[in-house]
Amino acid sequence: MQVFELHFNPRKQEHKIIESFIYEPGNIYEKRLGNLCMAGELTQALPQNARFFNNLASVIKKEYYGAGFKKSCQQSLQNSLKKANEFLDEDVQKGNVSWLGNLNFGILSFSNFVLNFTKIGQIEIFLIRKGQILNISQNLESQEEISPLKVFSNIVTGKLVQDDKIIVLNKDVFNTLSQNKDFLNQLGQMSDEKGVREILKRNKQVFSDVSGICLLLMVNEDVTSKQTLTFDKNLSQFSFRKTFIKPIYKLKPSIKGLKVPFFKLPPLTFPKVHLPKIKLPKIRIAKHKKKIILVISLILILLAFFFLFNEERKKELREAQEKILKAQSKITMAENLLILKEEDKANDLFQEAWDLVHPLTKAGKPLRAEALLIKESLEEYLK
């Protein structure tokens, strides 16, 4: 999946905060949970709200990826929303109520072509598929009177296909694009960064007075990257930076011109010491030849057993890794079948995954801890 963050005049309105967050799995435990994307807008913002989105996104990310093997993407997102609601409730208890009625926020998770998302406030989420544009967030009605304990509630789940595109917009950008629908159609036809930049340049005047954000998610199983493009009417062109590449600076120390004082030391002299002559007993190798051969043979045998054992352990580890990956793949396919209401086929896949990981849960087996976590999550499905 490719993700583009399009920021339009983010500093134009003094009392508005616009932020987006794109997270990718960092290890094998997080891989099955896929990508996590967030986009938010806070209107009527106060100075104390400067870190509001960073703190909220941090809470959601930590809970989402903290589940590891234990839960599905949908369950992980549900737990994240619960933590987010608790965070917002604590914020209200501390007296920070300025975000109430001014928060517009969308959260999306994507893994193995399954999309889960939710939103609050005036954020719109569109699906573009084969030239057709569909507002998939219109059934998620925003609450006029928000209860801090239930800011985020419903989750929508759907299956995506290759070359689908998801677009997330705030109200101002949505209103601008509703008067220029060609822009969405043009975005729907793009497949790479170059095409996106060309569209933005062609429509530069359209976004000269709008302030907001647009996330563009391109479904592509072979590409995983994130790009940020910012447009400001005060700049002559779009600025582009690849946020997933960190610059590496090599510091070359220089010692040119460094003068080290030289001290000449007098020669050191030592008194002569006469050591007594020691006669070592002569060892007859022929006498101990058989014993030496036996010891060397024993060492060689032990080394051979060590290398054989080491190779066997490596083979076991590779086989365990393959079984865990196969089990994860079957679990993902089964979860997709549950979405399609094909429970029998899903249960068969869950059982196959359980059969793969069960032998790995025995004591002494490699990757036993990971296998136990997967087995526990499978038992919930197979009850």
Interval 366-378 mean pLDDT: 82
pLDDT at position 39 over 70: yes
220: number of Cβ within 10 Å: 16
Please tell me which residue, 11 or 293, carries the higher pLDDT value: 293
Whole-number Å distance between alpha carbons of 77 and 117: 8
Interval 78-101 mean pLDDT: 89
pLDDT of residue 236: 36
pLDDT of residue 48: 87
Whole-number Å distance between alpha carbons of 130 and 165: 9
Confidence category of residue 175, pLDDT binned at 50, 70, 90: confident
pLDDT of residue 81: 92
pLDDT at position 187 over 60: yes
Interval 254-259 mean pLDDT: 34
Confidence category of residue 365, pLDDT binned at 50, 70, 90: confident
pLDDT at position 162 over 50: yes
Highest mean pLDDT among 80-94, 135-149, 311-325: 80-94
* Residue 68, token pair as written in the block: 């590891």
The model's pTM: 0.59
Q: Give the three-state DSSP class for 100.
A: coil
Whole-number Å distance between alpha carbons of 356 and 325: 10
Domains and CATH numbers, the chain: 2-241 (3.60.40.10), 294-381 (1.20.58)
pLDDT at position 340 over 60: yes
Q: How far apart are the first and last CA of the chain?
A: 34
308: number of Cβ within 10 Å: 10
Q: Give the three-state DSSP class for 255.
A: coil
pLDDT at position 202 over 60: yes
pLDDT of residue 294: 80
Q: Give the three-state DSSP class for 274.
A: coil
Q: What amino acid is encoded at 383 in this protein?
A: K
Whole-number Å distance between alpha carbons of 60 and 118: 13
Confidence category of residue 181, pLDDT binned at 50, 70, 90: low
Confidence category of residue 246, pLDDT binned at 50, 70, 90: very low
pLDDT of residue 68: 62
Which run of H or of E encompasses 54? helix 52-66
Please tell me which residue, 368 or 85, carries the higher pLDDT value: 85
Q: What is the mean pLDDT of the chain?
A: 76
Interval 217-233 mean pLDDT: 60
**Of 249, 382, 358, the residue nearest 374 (C-alpha):** 358
**% residues pLDDT > 70 (the chain):** 77
pLDDT of residue 330: 84
Interval 327-349 mean pLDDT: 81
pLDDT of residue 109: 93
Whole-number Å distance between alpha carbons of 170 and 104: 8
pLDDT at position 170 over 70: yes
Confidence category of residue 36, pLDDT binned at 50, 70, 90: very high
pLDDT at position 238 over 60: no
Q: Give the three-state DSSP class for 190.
A: coil
Interval 1-16 mean pLDDT: 78
Please tell me which residue, 346 or 263, carries the higher pLDDT value: 346
* Residue 110, token pair as written in the block: 């994507």
Confidence category of residue 12, pLDDT binned at 50, 70, 90: low
* pLDDT tens readout for residues 104-134: 999 999 988 899 999 998 899 989 888 788 8
* Residue 39, token pair as written in the block: 């986009």
pLDDT of residue 47: 85
Contact 126, 216 (CB under 8 A): no
State residue 168 phi and psi, 5-degree precision: -115, 125
* pLDDT tens readout for residues 279-327: 555 555 555 667 777 878 888 888 777 777 777 777 888 888 888 888 8
Interval 349-365 mean pLDDT: 87
